[in-house]
Chains A and B, each alone.
Chain A
Amino acid sequence: GAVVSQHPSRVICKSGTSVKIECRSLDFQATTMFWYRQFPKQSLMLMATSNEGSKATYEQGVEKDKFLINHASLTLSTLTVTSAHPEDSSFYICSACTSRRGGETQYFGPGTRLLVL
């Protein structure tokens, strides 16, 4: 159990276009989902916390107007990278949170690799 999917797994786009990434919890409901970004040879960095039915909370330094997050249901959160530029090229990973044995455990998706040309 606790499977999280992401779509697409890989995307290449032109500079200035927008890209939408979907994150789904397949076998559980998640009130909270998280979005991370990982650059080569670096660790994961939290971008934002996505709560179902409310506005996302963004980490310091993450532009909310550039990275639009929508959490429309208990199993789906989307991240839209607007007006993408080459510096937005990265590995984007989502996680969905559920309670397991007393802790709030995050289960991660397989990631989406974005390349902006």
Chain B
Amino acid sequence: DAKTTQPTSMDCAEGRAANLPCNHSTISGNEYVYWYRQIHSQGPQYIIHGLKNNETNEMASLIITEDRKSSTLILPHATLRDTAVYYCIVNDYKLSFGAGTTVTVRA
């Protein structure tokens, strides 16, 4: 069962903000929204997570809609090293990785 829906791929320009959308319309009240990314041939890297409120850390910002049915991950200034597959996961203790969004940052 796919709990989240993400675009298959997106391109963004180096230095610009990258906005990655995710739909999770069946999320339940106690489930967190997690974002991870996987750079080729490496283990996934934790980016950020949130429950209701918007969150920001040194890597990214997470904007969650008031009804919690969707969210957006924002990479404020994309660099070439941000090229990766980004996974939006609704956490019910186990993580179910879908196909994610393949983000390509272009110079």
Contacts and interface: CB of A to CB of B under 8 A. Distances in A.
Contact of A93 (B34, B44, B46, B49): B44
Contact of B32 (A36, A49, A103): A103
Given A43-B98, A104-B93, A93 B43 contact: yes
A46 B94 contact: yes
Contacts of B95: 34, 44, 46, 95, 106
B97 A105 contact: no
A107 B46 contact: yes
A104 B51 contact: no
Given A102-B51, A103-B51, A108 B34 contact: no
Q: How large is the interface on A (under 10, 10 to 19, 20 to 34, 35 or more residues)?
A: 20 to 34
Classify the interface of chain A: helix, strand, loop or mixed. strand
Contact of A110 (B36, B43, B99): B43
A93 B36 CA distance: 14
A91 to B, nearest CB: 8
Nearest to B32: A103
A29 B37 CA distance: 23
A105 B34 contact: yes
A73 to B, nearest CB: 21
Nearest to A92: B43
B91 interface: yes
Nearest to A91: B41
5 contacts: A2-B46, A4-B43, A43-B97, A43-B98, A103-B49
Interface of A: 2, 4, 6, 34, 36, 43-46, 49, 91, 93, 95, 100-111, 113
Given A34-B95, A108-B45, 18 more contacts: A6-B43, A34-B94, A43-B87, A43-B98, A43-B99, A43-B100, A44-B38, A44-B44, A45-B97, A46-B96, A93-B44, A95-B44, A102-B32, A104-B91, A106-B46, A106-B95, A107-B46, A108-B46
